[in-house]
Amino acid sequence: MRATYLLIFVILLGCGDRRPHNNRDQIESFDISPDDQKVLLLSTRDGATTVFEINADGTSPRPILKPSSDGIFSNPRYSPDGKKIVFIKYFKKSFGESAVYVSNNDGSGVQELTRGGELVTEAIFSAKGDAVLYCSAKQYNSSKTKGTTDARRFDIYAIDLLDGKTTKLSKLSALGIDNLSEISEKYILFHMNAGKKSGIYSFENDNPTKAMRIFPVNGTEESTLLDKPGYVPDRFLVFTARSKLHVMNLITRKADLIYDTKGGHFIQMLRGFHTKSRVLFKKFDEPRLTSVNTDGSEVSSFDVEFPE
């Protein structure tokens, strides 16, 4: 399956980021704890994935999920109270299938929420913490010309953590959905890959069929280039346009460029802090994390210590 194998290849091999003292460790994703004191990371080493936690300055790595013999992990995220995490597991026996899991924040009490048979790419806790939202492609299209199978028709689903009931929230049928977040109990934010309709979108929980593209009133970038949306309290939307990091005021809908990596080095991932107007991000070409205030001030970076 062309798209599926490409996804797994990216997860296994990463994007070329290396620690100078250890060329095997690669940062694949991260999340910030609700109190902004910890960072949850996924790393790969020789094709195996590890979930671990560090202090907000990059020190004191603590393993949470050690490499699995039957699969690889992806996209761990904190619950709103920081007591649990949700993550994806891709099965080695069938890379076209993956499932959603939750556990305590120390890795204990692992519970499978979905049963496979679909390609799940990302999952997060709802703002209330009583449900898990996830992106899934439950259908595949065959290519007669190339004899391959691609994942298609990605949509957003919610599974109730009390009764296990799954609800389809969106009707997007997208090529891909990523950077999913519920910025409040009302709005769901995400990036959609849909050809000319690609870009940043949101919809209201009580009206999920009406997805609206988000674009700043003073935008100078092509809307299809806007990527990696996130939220920073109390009214800022952050996003990238390749090597540039922008912040948009949700009241004025005006965006400002607050950071440019220059030299064409893309920003790989970002997360907004929860208690302050600050953004944490990672560049493709650096083995460290960088943070900056939403006004572009106080840029700082730190290297990540990996568990032994």
Q: Which residue has the higher pLDDT, 206 or 67?
A: 67
Q: So what's the pLDDT on residue 287?
A: 80
Q: So what's the pLDDT on residue 7?
A: 41
Give the bridge partners for 67, in sequence order. none
Q: Is the Cα torsion angle 281, 269, 264, 12 positive or negative in sign?
A: positive
Q: So what's the pLDDT on residue 23?
A: 56
In this predicted structure, the answer to whether residue 217 has a pLDDT above a threshold of 90 is yes
Q: What is the pLDDT of residues 29-60, one digit of tens each?
A: 999 999 999 999 999 988 899 999 999 999 99
Q: Which residue has the higher pLDDT, 93 or 249?
A: 249
In this predicted structure, the answer to whether residue 11 has a pLDDT above a threshold of 80 is no
In this predicted structure, the answer to whether residue 17 has a pLDDT above a threshold of 80 is no
Q: What is the mean pLDDT of the chain?
A: 87
Q: So what's the pLDDT on residue 288?
A: 92
Q: So what's the pLDDT on residue 10?
A: 39
